[in-house]
A and B are shown apart, each in its own frame.
Chain A
Amino acid sequence: MKENVAGGAGRAAERLPRPATQQPIAVRGRGRRAAGDNRAAYAFLTPWLIGMAVFTIGPMLFSLYLAFTRYDLSSAPEWIGLDNFRRMFTTDPRFFDSVDVTLTYVLWSVPLLLAVSLGLAMLLNRGMRFLTGYRALFYMPSLIGGSVAVAALWRQIFGEEGIVNKALAAVGIDHGSWVGDPGSALYTIVVLQVWTFGSAMVIFLAGLRQIPQELYDAAAVDGAGPVRRFRSVTLPMLSPLVFFNLLLSVVNAFQAFTGAYVVSNGTGGPSDSTLFYTLYLYEQGFAQLNMGYAAAMAWVLVLGLAVFTGLLFLSSRYWVHYGDER
């Protein structure tokens, strides 16, 4: 078995620049296997199927039903047809504010997060001493996550008396609070998100470790420079995880909640400048007790994200390379 793998990797390396797309061992008996897979597959899926049926599908369908009702969390839900959706798109300016805030946040935070996490993962992959220590230290911000302490910490950085303003003052620039100003508050939360890049970095790091060194060696023998090696070895080999991180960070950014909740103390302030979509949804559902409206908002988000992820999955055929492709 070892022989097989080493040989496979070696041969793949000879086929640069698309090493990951071809595997040497011939396909056989696919039809026979597919027939046998049904039972095995559902055996493997049993826990998930039960969990899905009991804990996920029920509540999901229930929330879908609630989207067409008025529900104050106490009285029985009252069917009101499309009223929630009508209100969302016609008479609720805060809904559009929250969409605006969220889109801005997605456009800034996703590319930054991916670039920073991939860059650092490559730096921290190999070729340096104390890597273990560095990795742990770079990961530390992600550990604190959405702790209640974060609000206080963020004021120490972006507040009126924060370290950023002190640095600016040292070069003669006088600036007010960054977290307290509606013009900049959202961007401090973008920074918060990018600051906790650790999870995406770890996924990239694990992916980088899976790339056989032989591919780089072969590329080097071919005289490929660092840029070419990145484009022809690293990116294609890493593409399933780039895809994963891209998809997940987009979904997470659209559902962003904790950062804004902690920093703005749950208000989405100042002046609704950090009123994220889910923060507004949460306020509608759990504070104003319009759970029907909150459910409607949630399903509008699901539809939006479904279109987006659908497109992403379609596009993945052209740029994501799996080891299992033949």
Chain B
Amino acid sequence: MTTTTPTPRAAPPRRPRRLLFGNRPTRSPLLRALVKHSVMIITLVLMLYPLLWMVGASFRPDNQVFSTLGLFTGDFTTDNYRDGWTGGDQLNFSRFFFNSLTLTVLCIAGNLISCSLTAYAFARLDFRFKKTLFALVIGTLLLPYHVTLVPQYILFNQLGWVNSFLPLVVPKVMATDAFFIFLMVQFIRALPRSLDDAARIDGCGHWGIFRRVIVPLSIPAFGTTALFTFINTWNDFLGPMLYLTEPGTWTVSQGLASFLDATGQSAYGSLFAMSTLSLVPVLGFFIAAQKLLVEGIATSGLK
């Protein structure tokens, strides 16, 4: 493989890898790549326009945020980042970021562990009431969450959990997020059962199959779950607003909301600046998790 002779595999005709346009005659690969990338970039600019506008606005003085028309026009300032970050003694974004990150990590751990266990049972095991219980999982997806908000609040208040992370984290540890159970069930069911059987022959019990076969092969599902939990938790506003009332326990989304108020002085510049910053951790996580999503199969020994 280290020699200069092309291996038969690399020789033309190229392996047809593309799903849609793979079979077209390729007169000039360079030209084609160029066209493809241009289309991608134009689509992207259109799609990202709102975000670009936001970034532009975050560098404008507060009182020019809406008054100029272009993306990066108006006076340039970084004040919004400074003012927004240190909104006051109690209201500091480093605190909000810390709170959000802590909450997010706890929720991700809770969801990954509890939902994968649950999903394994539903996807692979046969037991009594399986259909009924799975219908219950789906059933909980159908009820709008607003309507259980009040009973849950009363419950958590009785437990003395209000003003702590507990009402937001403990339910995750207990697999109450039916979406992720369902997601993992779908992923696991897509895996060939022959793998379980092979492991069984090797002497694995259910726990062994789960740990040695299902978990490694479900890395993409784990990545997806972690990513979505990250985004949901990071952006969640209603839950933290109800349960994390003291500014010292606020999350980023609450901090962002506190820049706007219809009855007083709002700070749109700071809002856009901190909104821009708040995208950074999620984006970073996406890029990191993407490796899991994409390389999941390759690293799991399937190939």
Chain A residues at the B interface, C-beta cutoff of 8 Å:
1-2, 4-6, 8, 20, 23-25, 28, 33-34, 37-38, 40-42, 44-45, 47-48, 50-52, 54-56, 58-60, 62-63, 66, 73, 122-123, 125-130, 132, 134-149, 152-154, 156-157, 161, 163, 195, 199, 202-203, 205-210, 212-213, 216-217, 220, 225-226, 229-230, 234, 237, 240-241, 243-244, 247-248, 251, 255, 257, 278, 281-282, 285-286, 291, 294-295, 298-299, 301-302, 305-306, 309, 322-324, 326
A58 to B171 alpha-carbon distance, docked (Å): 13
Interface set, chain B 189-223, CB cutoff 8 A to A:
189-195, 197-199, 202, 205-207, 210, 220-221, 223
In contact, B20 and A226 (Cβ under 8 angstroms): yes
Apart from A141-B50, A217-B16, 11 more pairs, CB < 8 Å: A44-B125, A47-B174, A52-B174, A123-B20, A132-B294, A146-B237, A152-B271, A161-B69, A209-B293, A281-B146, A301-B143
Q: Which of B210, B223, B287 contacts A206 (CB 8 A)?
A: B223
Chain B residues closer than 8 Å to A140, beta-carbon distance: 48, 51, 279, 283
Given contacts A1-B198, A54-B174, A60-B143, whether A141 and B183 have CB atoms under 8 Å apart is no
A-B interface, 7 closest residue pairs, ranked by CB to CB distance from nearest: A51-B174, A41-B127, A59-B151, A59-B148, A206-B220, A44-B121, A298-B147
For window 117-156 of B, CB contacts with A under 8 Å fall at 117-118, 120-121, 123-128, 130, 133, 136, 138-144, 146-148, 150-152, 155
Q: Are B290 and A136 in contact (CB under 8 A)?
A: yes
Task: Please tell me if the beta carbons of B186 and A243 are within 8 angstroms of each other in the complex.
Answer: yes
**B15 contact set on A, CB distance < 8 A:** 217
With a cutoff of 8 Å between Cβ atoms, the chain B residues found around residue A156 in the complex are: 50, 53
Q: How many Å lie between the Cα of A206 and that of B183 in the bound state?
A: 11
**Known interface pairs A44-B206, A45-B121, A138-B47; A148-B152 also in contact (CB < 8 Å):** no
A51–B16 CB distance below 8 A: no
Residues of B within 8 A of A48 (CB): 114, 117-118, 174-176, 181
**Given the complex, which residues of A lie within 8 Å of B107, measured CB to CB?**
none
The answer to whether B118 and A62 have CB atoms under 8 Å apart is no
Instruction: Flag if A136 contacts B192 (CB, 8 Å).
Output: no
Q: Chain B nearest CB: distance from A311 CB in Å?
A: 13
| Closest residue on chain A to residue B182 by CB atoms | A244
Contact of A37 among B23, B127, B221 (CB under 8 A): B127
Q: Which of B74-82, B85-93, B224-232 contacts A (4 or more CB under 8 A)?
A: B224-232
Interface residue stretch chosen among B97-105, B243-251, B253-261 = B253-261
Instruction: Return chain A residues, CB-CB under 8 Å to B283.
Output: 136, 140, 143
Q: Say yes or no: A149 contacts B123, CB within 8 Å.
A: no
Question: Are the CB atoms of B18 and A291 closer together than 8 Å?
Answer: no
Residue in B22, B123, B202, B296 whose beta carbon sits within 8 Å of that of A324 in the complex = B123
Task: Assess the B50–A126 pair: CB atoms within 8 A.
Answer: no
Q: How far is the CB of B44 from chain A (nearest CB, A)?
A: 5
Q: A282 to B150, alpha carbons, bound, how many Å? A: 12
Nearest CB of chain A from residue B237's CB, rounded to whole Å = 7
The interface residues of chain A lying within 8 Å CB-to-CB of B287 are 132, 136
* Residue ID in chain A nearest B257 by CB atoms: A148
- Give the complex CA separation of A73 and B150 in angstroms: 8
Q: Determine whether the beta carbon of B192 is less than 8 Å from that of A323.
A: yes
Could you list 6 A-B pairs, sorted by A, with CB under 8 Å?
A1-B301, A34-B126, A148-B259, A202-B227, A244-B182, A281-B146
Q: How far apart sit A169 and B238, CA to CA, in the bound complex (Å)?
A: 40
Q: Which residue of A lies closest to B113 (CB)?
A: A47
**B residues near A62, Cβ cutoff 8 Å:** 148, 151
A129 touches B290 (CB 8 A): no
A69 CB to nearest chain B CB (Å):
13
Find out whether the CB atom of B114 lies under 8 angstroms from the CB atom of A149: no
- Known contacts being A135-B290, A149-B54, is A298 close to B220, with CB within 8 Å? no
Residue pair A134, B44 in contact (C-beta under 8 Å): yes
Interface flag for B235 (CB, 8 Å) = yes
B146 A285 Cβ-Cβ under 8 A: yes
Do A58 and B155 touch across chains, with their CB atoms under 8 A apart? Answer: yes
Contact yes or no, A305 B142, CB < 8 A? yes
Instruction: Verify A52–B136 contact, CB threshold 8 A.
Output: yes
Please indicate which of the listed interface residues A51, A122, A208, A220 has the most CB atoms of chain B within 10 Å of its own CB.
A51
